[in-house]
Structure 1
């Protein structure tokens, strides 16, 4: 389902017509692994690794847990002819720095990495795209750096207000989030911390089935710091008693065009969290829900996401 809204909640019917035309067009299948160029942005001594393809308006992509820059391979291929696409490794992951201090994984530090990447490329603003924890960083970046956020694209991570509302009131969401409490209380060395299993590169890559891609994920996780991955949960996952204060903190109404994708088979993030998102966005807001896709919607529905994303971005630059 695709819903396109402005603040007055008027449907943009032409979106569906144009999108249907777009979805009939093929996309490429280049090997971004070989094509991408690599570099590092410096954030006060913290080196943030990125992979980049293409030229044009800057698009910054932020992965979630457990993942790395390569999760965006399909979207990078789709956008490379029209945009400069920069997919980062969040701190703690793959080739990016892995500071030991727990405070280094506080949300303001994660946000500052995105700012450093944008400035490294000589730009003052960018389209910011995030999935899962990358989506959380993208939301917060848009709240705190509106002047640097040209467009916002979020994949399978409801607006913080919607998520926290469901976390406190929806027993399904609370049940779905039980794993996060394990991450917050546990240690990376615990034998059952990762959904009843140990945190190993092989287990973290368990959702990848294609052999060659799976090996790339395992290699990336071998370079990563599992304690750092969990610190992002420990330092930033909301505590229920604090939800009212957190919602007040996120009371900023966004002024930038926003596109959201949500795979409805997500077992971690209930789609009820999407309700009322339009109340917190004072700009064009487009929501695409995909029934057959799960949490990793950018891979589960790669062609739908890539084509829609390209069409949307071409109409917002």
Structure 2
């Protein structure tokens, strides 16, 4: 669909809820939320373009968030639905916002977890952060480099995944060794790394695309860790009109894995309104 194959996992019945994961994760990032959501909704957790399919089928382009939102739209239609609730974390939140901006008639409610959408402020983010002012997201720049990440991390995906979680989880056990192995497999081959980095290499176009969108006016729930809360709130004040913010104090970034009880409770309350 839309020139690629998508892997997704489905459970439950009822109105459709679409879950969109971030980097470097897969649909498995929502394993703690899906059972609770599926008690009330049909839940679809999607692996983004380039993840969850054999290397020989991974696309070579189409990684703008606008085009990835089209992937989601076509999948929703193929499932027999005309609209859905859209929930995204990290990079998935970028796709989720783009979906709402491009397909407002197909978006019932929108929930963004810890990230919004690339905008001009991305160009102002420091290469070197002051001590105790947040996490140094070095991979945003590194993943822009073409060719080198594949050479550095191919066959070594575990080391990247393990380092990220070991340094950015409130409770390291919330993402177990098994979970980390699931993610490492998805980002362990040159083609898998190339495809995922394509998401980052599209940021320049994503920023330009955002300038063409109207403000999103549908109900929007934003959950954010303390280190991201102010930034998420400020970004959304510029591009959305009906926003409810929730601080997730038990997390540094991986909200659905650090505090699934709070996240699922907030989502269920929001989606039921």
TM-score by length of 2: 0.82
In 1, Cα distance between equivalents of 2:141 and 2:77: 35
* 2:219 alignment partner, one of 244, 257, 269: 257
Task: Give the one of 276, 281, 284 matched to 2:240.
Answer: 281
Distance 2:20 2:266 in 1: 18
Distance in 2, Cα, partners of 1:129 & 1:219: 24
- Structure 2 residue runs of 5 or longer lacking an equivalent are 166-171
> Could you tell me which residue of structure 2 aligns to residue 86 of structure 1?
44
Equivalent of 2:183, from 217, 220, 223? 217
- Cα shift at 1:184: 0.5
Q: List, as ranges, runs of 4+ consecutive aligned residues in structure 1 with deviation greater than 6 Å.
A: none
CA contact 1:168–1:174 (8 Å) conserved in 2: no
Q: Could you say if the C-alpha distance between residues 50 and 107 of structure 1 is closer, same or farther in structure 2, counting changes exceeding 3 Å?
A: same
Measured against aligned partners, the alpha-carbon deviations of 1:14-62 in whole angstroms (never above 9, x if no partner) come to xxxxxxxxxxxxxxxxxxxxxxxxxxxxx14521111011101100111
CA displacement at 1:140 relative to structure 2: 0.8
In the alignment, does 2:197 pair up with 1:227?
no
Larger-Rg structure: 1
| Root mean square deviation of aligned Cα | 2.9
1:1-317 pair list within 5 angstroms: 43-95=1-53, 98-101=57-60, 103-161=61-119, 164-165=120-121, 167-168=123-124, 172=129, 176-187=136-147, 188-191=149-152, 200-206=156-162, 207=165, 209-222=175-188, 225-234=192-201, 236-238=202-204, 245=208, 248-250=211-213, 252-265=214-227, 271-275=230-234, 277-283=236-242, 285-315=243-273
How far off is 1:278 after superposition? Answer: 3.6
SS of equivalent to 1:82: coil
Aligned residue pairs, count: 256
Encode CA deviations 1:96-117: one digit per residue, 9 max, x unaligned: 774342x322333311110121
- Contact conserved, 1:52 with 1:86, CA < 8 A, in 2? yes
Q: Which moved more, 1:46-55 or 1:286-295?
A: 286-295
1:200 & 1:82 partners in 2: Cα distance? 39
| 1:212 to 1:152, Cα distance in 2 relative to 1, 3 A | same
Instruction: Give distance in 2, aligned partners of 1:213 and 1:157.
Output: 22
TM-score (norm 1): 0.71
For residues 177 and 135 of structure 2, the distance between their equivalents in structure 1, rounded to whole angstroms, comes to: 32
Structure 1 stretch displaced more, 144-153 or 290-299: 290-299
C-alpha displacement of 1:229? 0.8
Report the CA distance between 1:84 and its aligned residue.
0.3
